[in-house]
Structure 1
């Protein structure tokens, strides 16, 4: 004859509070130590390598779609595997020929201070500008640069690169400041 299992006692209010406080402390520690968002800007002047990578990327995507649509076709699966290998090779070649600039999101108070150090001119303020677009971009690029780019170096690149490249440099540093990794009201 088996004995009945004794019912579990609910934890005492004190023990429940300690458990909740410990869980909160652990959660808060994780929140304090989150990695800041980062953004990488690829710079590659080899148009042939960039086109090779883009072509390989499209070919691999088409081959994957065909393989997913025909799961029993071994020849299609082999073609998808070969296309994936070709894409990896093209990416490695492009990476080897590229320079990367990495930008990190700044803590909110640091970003706000940086913006306040570069106020818009009276005319820019009338136009609704929050910061001075002549001085702030180089300051932000430098402040957000993981690589240690100075403000003078950022100014130099913004002044000497073609407009499209200079715009992408600015956007790499600015967009990471706007990146959110939290969701509101989602389960």
Structure 2
């Protein structure tokens, strides 16, 4: 067992930090303006290339100026994309809340026979609403799932579901000597 050294953090301090951790969040950007998306993607690639070139020759003022201008264009394109977008934010639910929500939407016998852990007809809208930080209701979630194209509806579902699966702990292992 490791001895506590000077400056060691007590268990109480660690536990307090663990209690204060925020739950993971995921943002789904929805932008119907393809030109704004393309403009941003191209500006980002150009800025990345210019930055790498400037870093490869730090004494070259021309490269540094090009990188600065490309970064400004990228920021301007990002701001335009932000204005043209609607962003939906989803937050992971505490484990007991998620489990309760899953149990509130059990699969039908047929769905269970196919291996479903929850009812895929009712659970997605409930999870989207429960994890939305924007105040989306279950009825609104159902409306979007039913009226959007399959890829867009899937992106909405995946944003709410995947944040429930996000872990943020480093999985470090002390292999020791053996």
* TM-score, normalisation: structure 2: 0.89
Moved more, 175-184 or 122-131: 122-131
Structure (1 or 2) with the larger CA radius of gyration: 1
Q: 2:31 aligns with which of 24, 37, 44?
A: 44
Distance in 2 between the 1:80 and 1:139 partners? Answer: 46
Say yes or no: does 1:89 pair with 2:76.
yes
Q: 2:151 aligns with which of 158, 161, 164?
A: 164
Say yes or no: does 1:139 pair with 2:135.
no
| Count, aligned residues | 170
Please provide the CA RMSD for this pair: 2.0
Deviation, 1:107, is 0.1
Distance in 2 between the 1:69 and 1:184 partners? Answer: 34
* TM-score, normalisation: structure 1: 0.85
Deviation, 1:23, is 2.2
SS of equivalent to 1:94: helix
Deviation, 1:185, is 2.0
Deviation, 1:186, is 5.0
Q: 2:85 aligns with which of 89, 98, 110?
A: 98
Distance in 2 between the 1:121 and 1:57 partners? Answer: 47
Distance in 1 between the 2:62 and 2:20 partners? Answer: 48
Distance in 1 between the 2:172 and 2:83 partners? Answer: 42
Say yes or no: does 1:177 pair with 2:164.
yes
Distance in 1 between the 2:115 and 2:57 partners? Answer: 55
Distance in 1 between the 2:84 and 2:37 partners? Answer: 10
